[in-house]
Amino acid sequence: MHKFLPYIFFLVIISVQGQAPKKLNSAEIDQALKKLNFLGSVLYIAAHPDDENTRLISYFSNEVNARTGYLSITRGDGGQNLIGSELKELLGVIRTQELLAARRIDGGEQRFTRAIDFGYTKTPEESMEIWDKEVVLGDVVWAIRTFKPDVIINRFNHRTSGETHGQHTASALLSVEAFNLANNKDAYPEQLNYTKTFSPTRLYFNTSPWFYGSQDEFDKADKSNFIQFDTGVYFPWNGLSNPEIAALSRSQHRSQGFGSSGSRGSQIEYVELIDGKVPEIKGDIFAGIDTSWNRLKDGAAIGKVLKEVQENYNFRDPSESLPKLIEAYKLINNLEDGYWKNIKKLEIKDIILACSGLYIEALSNVSYSTPNQSIDVKFEAINRSAVPVELSSVSVLPDSPSLESNKVLLNNENWNEKLSYTIPKDAIYTSPYWLNNNSNLGTYVVEDPKMIGLSETPRVTKAIFNLKFYDETISFEKELVYKTTDPVKGEVYQPFEIVPPVVTSFSDKVLIYTNGEPKKIDLIVTANQKDAKGKVSLKAPDTWKIEPKETSFDIKNNAGTATLSFIVTPPKEQSEADLIPEISFEGKVYSNEIIKLDYEHIPLQTLVLPAKSKLVKLDIKKKGELVGYIDGAGDVIPESLEQIGYKVVKINPDDINAASLAKFDAIVLGIRAYNMVDILKFKQTELLKYVENGGTLISQYNTNRGLVLDNLAPYKLELSRDRVTEEDAEVEFLDPQHPVLNTPNKITPKDFENWVQERGLYFSDSWAPEFTPIFSMHDKNEANSNGSLLIAKYGKGHYIYTGLSFFRQFPDAVPGAFRLFANLISIGK
């Protein structure tokens, strides 16, 4: 299916996609020249976006000038989202992009494995079991064989299981094992169809006082195997200290709220040798590894030319370096095929472009298109140097005719040309490749083995500029981009996307039935090309009745939509099913929707995902009608409660007063409201007064650090980091007669079936006797935790704290979670 993907893709430095192009200034060119002359590489390994030590990555990339990569075992899909409501795989896409944004700042490259971050675990064993260790270990081996790092550095300690997130320790264990396997031709032999075995020289652990529990213990530790570096260096070429760059990089992890401030001055980092050759020279992780051009056969001559370039580099006129750079380019091009040849060829091409002040760009006239449709591509080329450069030809890959130009680009004279290009009829969509198939429990499914680990789907539609410098023609690739001018933001770049001709979305992601009444659901069909005509039907198990069986659409305009209504009638008994659209269009069936993730710090993400709506027939009773909701960090409580028949009103925190709240049957606080909403510290008295007067206040989880107030509840209630991460952990009913377990819905162990990701988090571990704990639960080999749901009478009303993860269960329409939540709301009625 990915037939246009040439072998080179997984060796190249993934370029900035859909972002404004990077234009090197003359100090940055000088820096790039230093990097060109360093032939050594480092791969940093950890488990998640944000685990990476950006100080060290920036130090190796910008001070040592090594090729520096970060292999994050997962894409961080299992975490919480501080900037929006996306969770799971959508959050994984955001965090992937945040890592790429971070790498654009610190100069590193980004890799992954297929492992899914399935949520918090306490042991590496559980991680390995869910991930399917053999698969993920293979991916780490693959990363080593393709990235070919001289040195690997682990973020975590492989010897201290249980002291941190289980996935952390697992990342280190995988690295330790893969370190030796990568060179074993009997390990994962199928990979050797595409790459070779490889043996990194050394493996280190990026240790620190944190891993010793205290500075004192760390001071006492045997450091004979340690290397330390001062990473607090200053870079005059960009006016920043290394820790300042590291902080800018780390601050890209916005979905995790990891904004950080840079520092200046000395900052020591330590690495401890774990495996590999003991360095002959103390203090140098590359000791004994030739990191000059001499490490390549026929490399010495290149090193000689490039040393001259570096020594004679003229900051006022970088184009003076061009003759020697072209000479070096020819020598690199004549090297035997291999790893460093590919890397260095790309690097020197960027430098040649920058030194000649060449700007080349290929713009699409539309932001997206579909297979077999035509687009206009507008080319721009301009040379800003006295060196004459000939533009021999331009074309678009794959398959376009080449536009012969043979035009000499004179200093500062613009060249523009247009070409009509037809997207190949079997072009793959540009959506994230790891979401193209249903995933396994712990790993994504990737059909093309060469794609494994890539941070993004490689764009196959790209422009080729063939430029002649003196007598040498060099090909430059540019991804197609789309550009607009925004009155506020100015020039806005966007990736050019290839999407299906027709996509759909449901008006409701979940339809919950509390009785036998039929419900209407709308399907919105969007055409991504002109004149789209076709038929639509919805599929669900036979017990669900869908009318009409089939309907049709006729959409004239590109981006036009048609809204088609269906009536869905539930079966009598409790039931769950997926409702899937099938659109027949030009002989093919489509059932995708497009989801866009639009955040300022990352390029616009366009995802093509299976469209579906979840149908649930619920055996549920409820009391009360009107629920007030106060926003926290973002959850789907309001729409979920409306699905089961409540009327939900969002309360502006500024307007909170006991009198205005009196009308609500219950008030629900969004997750982490007491961490997020400052003004609640002034409103807590009113909220508690509302409870005293007979109301029900349901506080979902908050983290114990960074609370905006001390009196979370009317009585003593302390939060802990206790969590139950096993979503199927047995739940014991501590007080089976308690109303919350009996009215209006009789709660049974069945209500705890099919929960997703976890039971809950940030449980209380200490509370006043006024509270009644309802449940007891624990992860394997752990003590019971009884603070997941605590209920206290206060005045005439009820105060409820719950760390149960309703925010994860509702999007998946887990029936028991709804039944229990209805009981919470109904408790005072």
Tell me which residues touch Zn ion (CB under 5 A).
Answer: 47-48, 51
- Kindly list the distances between the CA atom of residue 32 and the CA atoms of 12, 289, 507, in Å, as whole numbers in the listed order: 16, 21, 51
CA–CA dist 764, 801 (Å, integer) = 8
Contacts of residue 648, defined as CB under 8 A and 6 or more positions apart, other chains included, come to 627, 628, 629, 637, 638, 641, 642
Judge contact between 559 and 527, C-beta under 8 A. Answer: yes
Q: In this chain, which residue has its C-beta nearest to Zn ion? A: 48
- Count Cα neighbours of 441 within 13 Å in the Cβ-side half-sphere: 11
**Whose CA is closest to 763, among 678, 677, 699?**
699
CA–CA dist 79, 88 (Å, integer) = 7
CA torsion sign for 596, 597, 598, 603 is: negative
CA–CA dist 248, 107 (Å, integer) = 12
The nearest distance, CB 169 to Zn ion, in angstroms, is 11
Residue appearing with tokens 């039935």: 513
The nearest distance, CB 168 to Zn ion, in angstroms, is 6
The pairing of beta strand 389-397 with beta strand 696-700: unpaired
**Whose CA is closest to 729, among 762, 764, 765, 758?**
758
Residue appearing with tokens 């039931």: 575
- Kindly list the distances between the CA atom of residue 249 and the CA atoms of 110, 151, 261, 264, in Å, as whole numbers in the listed order: 13, 22, 10, 15
Taking the least distance from each CB to Zn ion, the nearer of 148 and 165 is 165
Taking the least distance from each CB to Zn ion, the nearer of 48 and 798 is 48
Residue type, 28: E
Taking the least distance from each CB to Zn ion, the nearer of 51 and 479 is 51
The nearest distance, CB 81 to Zn ion, in angstroms, is 15
The nearest distance, CB 46 to Zn ion, in angstroms, is 7
The nearest distance, CB 44 to Zn ion, in angstroms, is 13
The nearest distance, CB 164 to Zn ion, in angstroms, is 8
Taking the least distance from each CB to Zn ion, the nearer of 51 and 631 is 51
What's the residue count for the chain? 829
Taking the least distance from each CB to Zn ion, the nearer of 48 and 254 is 48
Q: Classify burial at 41, counting beta carbons within 10 Å of its beta carbon; exposed 0-12, middle 13-18, buried 19 or more.
A: buried
Taking the least distance from each CB to Zn ion, the nearer of 51 and 109 is 51
Helix (H, G, I), strand (E, B) or coil at 514: coil
The nearest distance, CB 124 to Zn ion, in angstroms, is 13
The nearest distance, CB 48 to Zn ion, in angstroms, is 3
The nearest distance, CB 171 to Zn ion, in angstroms, is 8
The nearest distance, CB 50 to Zn ion, in angstroms, is 6
Taking the least distance from each CB to Zn ion, the nearer of 98 and 150 is 98
The nearest distance, CB 645 to Zn ion, in angstroms, is 40
The nearest distance, CB 49 to Zn ion, in angstroms, is 8
Taking the least distance from each CB to Zn ion, the nearer of 72 and 699 is 72
DSSP result, 750-764 = GGGTT--S-SBSS-E
DSSP result, 427-490 = PPP-S-GGGSS---SSB---SSGGGTT-SSPPP--EEEEEEEETTEEEEEEEE-EEEEEETTTE
Taking the least distance from each CB to Zn ion, the nearer of 47 and 502 is 47
Taking the least distance from each CB to Zn ion, the nearer of 47 and 564 is 47
**Residue 634 neighbours by CB distance under 10 Å:** 19
Give the bridge partners for 582, in sequence order. Answer: 537
Taking the least distance from each CB to Zn ion, the nearer of 80 and 537 is 80
Taking the least distance from each CB to Zn ion, the nearer of 172 and 583 is 172
